[in-house]
Amino acid sequence: MKSIAMIALSALLAGVAVPASAQFAKPEDAIKYRKNSLFVMSQHFGRLGAMAQGRIPFDAKAAADNAALVETLSHLPWAAFGEGTDKGDTKANPEIWKEAPKFKEAMDKFQAEAVKLAAAAKTGKLDDLKTAFGNTAATCKGCHDTFRAK
């Protein structure tokens, strides 16, 4: 059963996020890659949050740069949830593979919000950034609540 679930997720992801050469030498590399890309993304997303929440001054150029990076990085982690990457140094919940379409839906939602976030940051308007940051953060949380172990 697990193997079928793995194949199902791989097939779902293949259409959207996995270039033909997006292979990892071993499952540990894939796990490291998805954690590393998520952490780098979180740092740039966090800077937008600090501006949105007034913890650091709003800097339109920095906001646009950081949001563009978040959008670019939003495409990366998902190719690394392939077969054999459910075990190891990971907080990934089995639900990722058991409920592959739901996981893909959460990923798609986040990516769509990341596109809007990058567009909002380009406007140079703090209010636009605040709205888009909140909407994007909600998709992060939604996915983490379901698919990441506590």
Site for a second copy, rule CB under 8 A? 19-24, 29, 32-33, 35-37, 39-40, 43, 47, 50-51, 56, 59, 61-62, 65-66, 69, 72, 76
What are the distances in angstroms from CA 51 to CA 36, 136, 149? 23, 14, 29
Closest CB to a second copy among residues 33, 137: 33
d(CA 90, CA 32): 9
In the complex, least distance from residue 31 CB atom to a second copy, rounded to whole angstroms? 11
Rg for the chain, CA atoms, rounded: 16
| Residues β-bridged to residue 92 | 148
Q: For residues 81 and 27, what is the distance between their CA atoms, to the nearest angstrom?
A: 9
Query: Which of 5, 85 has the CB closer to a second copy?
Result: 85
Rounded to whole angstroms, how far apart are CA atoms 49 and 114? 13
State the nearest-atom distance from the C-beta of 72 to a second copy, in Å.
6
Instruction: Give min distance, CB of 70 to a second copy, in A.
Output: 12
The nearest distance, CB 27 to a second copy, in angstroms, is 13
Q: Crossing angle of helices 100-122/126-147, nearest 10°?
A: 170
Cβ proximity to a second copy: between 61 and 150 the closer is 61
Token pair for 114: 């990341």
Q: How far is the CB of 116 from a second copy (least distance, A)?
A: 20
Q: Which lies closer to a second copy via its Cβ, residue 79 or residue 100?
A: 79
Q: Which is nearer to a second copy, 3 or 39 (CB)?
A: 39
